[in-house]
Structure 1
């Protein structure tokens, strides 16, 4: 029987993290599994707790949104520790990519019974992130600014906070000149954003990279070039289905190591955390994390 340590982000989604764990935890305990709960004071603290639990042979559960999922999953990459998710944040995009169920009983069965799946992680290197790892995506431009606005939202949650943040960001954004190097080949790009995606989703269910797979050993690079603002608003709506990739303003590349730089300090984010500016390098870590999904 698996033994679990759940690490809860007490700020993700308000109080929903503890509530989500309570429901899943009841099913785990009824099945005879052990469950310990730790509350993190910060992302770094959560990562330390995860490493300690993993070294003790326990399954580590990240309870919260994409920030704590990516932070803990990244910290456990390459260690062999079994990793699970209890989605309880604004976006839950990596959980969506893994097709995790909303039903607590169904999620508990996966955590108890399923064999682990080896998924890729993304090593992120910059002046701020000195070789850390995340799971979903790295994005630089107007979407990072939108994410920053969403993180600061007090009255809105979920997709609404990201949409409102996007509207605010687009109205003030001016195109940046990017240099995007994919496996040693440099591409010039002027526009709104560059997204380096391990997962298809970001921004609370927006399908930014429909072809991205979490276990293919590659990263999808989505470039959205300069266009009239009205067109960008239309494109934002198309992210719900992935139809935007058919537009001429959208270009997709694929590779294993991507460096993104720009002509000014463009903000970038990684799995919901926005605290740095370009340049940044992202490298795929194939099969680095054993996930129960």
Structure 2
């Protein structure tokens, strides 16, 4: 029987990650599994707890949203440890990409009996931020600004916070001149954003990279070039279905290593938590993490 260590973000989704864990914990314990619960005081503390538990052979559960999943998953990347994800945040986009169940009964069954499978992770390197590994995507531009607004919103939750954050970010955005180097090939574009995606979803279910796969050893690099701001708002809705890919303002490249630069200090983010400014280098790490999914 598996032994679990749950690393909980107590403020996930603006409420409590604990609420999502309680019914799941009861089912796991009733099945005979052991479960230790640790509440994260910071991302660094969460990583420390995850590495220690993983080293002891425990299945490490990341309880919260994409921030804690990326943080814990990144800490375990490159090890033999096994990650389980308990979606309890605002977006839960990496869990969505994996097709994880949200109901406690189905999730407990998966965690108890599901087989770990390798997924890719992303190594993020920057002169202004410590090197780290994340799971879902690295995004540079207006979406990084939007994510910051969504995470600091006190009045709105869920999809509404992301939409309002996007509206605020786009209205104040001026086009950036990007230099995007994908596996040595340089692409210069002027526009809104560049997303290096390991998984397809970000920003509360927006399917920014519909063809991205978490186990193909590649990153899908989505570029949204400059256009009228009203067009960008239209594309925000199209991101739900992937219809934005038909727009001439949208390009997709694929590769293993991506350097993103710009003509000014454009902000970038990763998995909802990392915040810094360009330039940044992202590299895919094929099959670096074992996840139950």
TM-score normalised to the size of structure 1?
0.99
1:232-243 counterparts in 2 under 5 A? Answer: 232-243=232-243
- 1:122 and 1:128 mapped to 2: Cα distance? 17
- 2:83 and 2:102 mapped to 1: Cα distance? 18
Instruction: Find out whether 1:211 has 2:201 as its counterpart.
Output: no
Match of 2:59 in 1: 59
Instruction: Find out whether 1:149 has 2:149 as its counterpart.
Output: yes
Shift of 1:274: 4.4
- 1:126 and 1:47 mapped to 2: Cα distance? 19
- 1:28 and 1:131 mapped to 2: Cα distance? 35
Shift of 1:10: 1.1
| Secondary structure, counterpart of 1:13 in structure 2 | helix
- Residues 267, 274 of structure 1: 8 Å contact kept: no
Shift of 1:201: 0.1
Shift of 1:13: 1.3
Match of 2:26 in 1: 26
**How many residue pairs were aligned?**
293
Shift of 1:158: 1.0
Instruction: Find out whether 1:136 has 2:130 as its counterpart.
Output: no
| Secondary structure, counterpart of 2:245 in structure 1 | helix
- 1:55 and 1:117 mapped to 2: Cα distance? 18
> Any gaps of 5 or more consecutive residues in structure 2?
none
Runs of at least 4 residues off by over 6 Å: none
- Residues 120, 215 of structure 2: 8 Å contact kept: yes
Shift of 1:163: 0.4
1:134-283 counterparts in 2 under 5 A? Answer: 134-283=134-283
RMSD: 0.7
> Any gaps of 5 or more consecutive residues in structure 1?
none
Shift of 1:130: 2.9
Match of 2:88 in 1: 88
- 2:65 and 2:235 mapped to 1: Cα distance? 25
Shift of 1:127: 1.9
TM-score normalised to the size of structure 2?
0.99
